[in-house]
Amino acid sequence: MTSALNRTISFNKSSSFNRRSLNVGSPKVNITRSGWVSLRFQILVIIASVISFFIAVGGGYIYLLPSISHTFFHSQGLFSDYNNSESLRNCNVFDGSWVQVHDGYYPLYNATECPFVEQGFNCLGNGRSDMNYLSWRWKPKSCDVPRFDVHGVLEMLRSKRIVFVGDSMSRTQWESLICMLMAGVEDKKGVYEVNQNQITKRIRFLGVRFSAYNFTVEFFRSVFLVQQDPMPKHAPKRVKSTLILDKLDDISEQWVNSDVLIFNTGQWWVPSKLFNMGCYFNVGGSLNLGMSIPAAFRIALETWASWVEREINRNRTHVFFRTFEPSHWSDQTRGTCNLTRYPSLETDGRDQHLFSDTVLEVVKNVGFPINVLHVTSMSAFRSDAHVGNWSGNLFMQDCSHWCLPGVPDMWNEIVLSQLFTDNEIPFQPME
């Protein structure tokens, strides 16, 4: 085709040259009236042709621009792409920093319009006027976390079962995901708690069903993951209960047969929740009053890991474990909570925690693919995003839990990005 085009151009140039040669030496060219009409007609044809050309090019540009833009920005990670993202797969998404965005992308939902957000986490609804904490997004150093595409995720989760297991931090992330997904559902009445329960920390099981997509997002309250039992016989008076470190929680059988299983624990592994309450450790049927909390935590995690290897179907279930989430109390007594207006520039040591290190060490030796959501460091910078004085209780500050919308939304964006770029474990429909 190119050679034919070149021949045509060559022929036209030759013809034009020959015509000009025939007129060389002519003293005068007489143009009649009919000649003027012919010339004007040719000029009009040329102008019309030029206009048509630009209209055609402009129309094609307008038609192709969305596709070109989509392809370009897709490759830059600005549009959601949960498939075949090799760069994301090989990237440490937890090594990065918080960057402020002003493109209207955040917040992902309105907590006041989401019936599954606890009132104590709805900071804006409780009077917080500063909205700056909503405009920050986590940016890994060597890749981008795909932006949340609610309609795409709803389709991908169709006929699935997503289960969160852990403490109140797990419940916060559970609430966050439900509200993120609800933003894309037209019939809000089709999203409901399966037992018509109100969202409260007192209930051990909460499940929200998205009827239009036939999937559930469930939460099981298990703050230690292992079984807690009453005081054993012949125990010292100071012992009121025990944690059986080599036995997983008795509700663990309800966690299996899920497609996504997200665990966390850590906030309750402190003296005030254990020893001060008369709770000690039991291993192998024997009470151990001298065992340290870090040692007990490791044994509990090893029990959990063995249970995962034994009970969870690797051909169906994606397993995640979220590490310790740092709080930002101003003193060790947790009596003062002074939030910053912007994310902290320094972590003041909160970016590391013994429990997080233990999780990484235990998971490394598990013969089951487990994604560790190492949120300790990234959350350590967010001294601006806790509930603080906006829990709805004038007499209670909170520098442990997070405002919703907020930081837990970013955790869920990372979960989804890892979930849908991991093609090694295919989804199977929920039974």
Q: Cβ atoms within 10 A of the Cβ of 113, count? A: 12
Whether 303 contacts 296, CB under 8 Å: no
- 86-419 falls under which CATH superfamily? SGNH hydrolase (3.40.50.1110)
3-state SS of the chain: helix, strand, coil percent to 5?
Answer: 35, 15, 45
**One pLDDT digit (tens) per residue for the chain, 431 residues:** 444 434 333 333 333 333 333 333 333 334 444 444 455 555 555 665 655 555 554 444 333 333 333 322 222 332 344 443 456 678 899 999 999 998 889 999 999 999 999 999 999 999 999 999 999 999 999 999 999 999 999 999 999 999 999 999 999 999 999 999 999 999 999 999 999 998 888 899 999 999 999 999 999 999 999 999 998 888 999 999 999 999 999 999 999 999 999 999 999 999 999 999 999 999 999 999 999 999 999 999 999 999 999 999 999 999 999 999 999 998 766 678 878 999 998 888 899 999 999 999 999 999 999 999 999 999 999 999 999 999 988 888 899 999 999 999 999 999 999 888 754 333 444 44
Structure tokens at 20: 């000009």
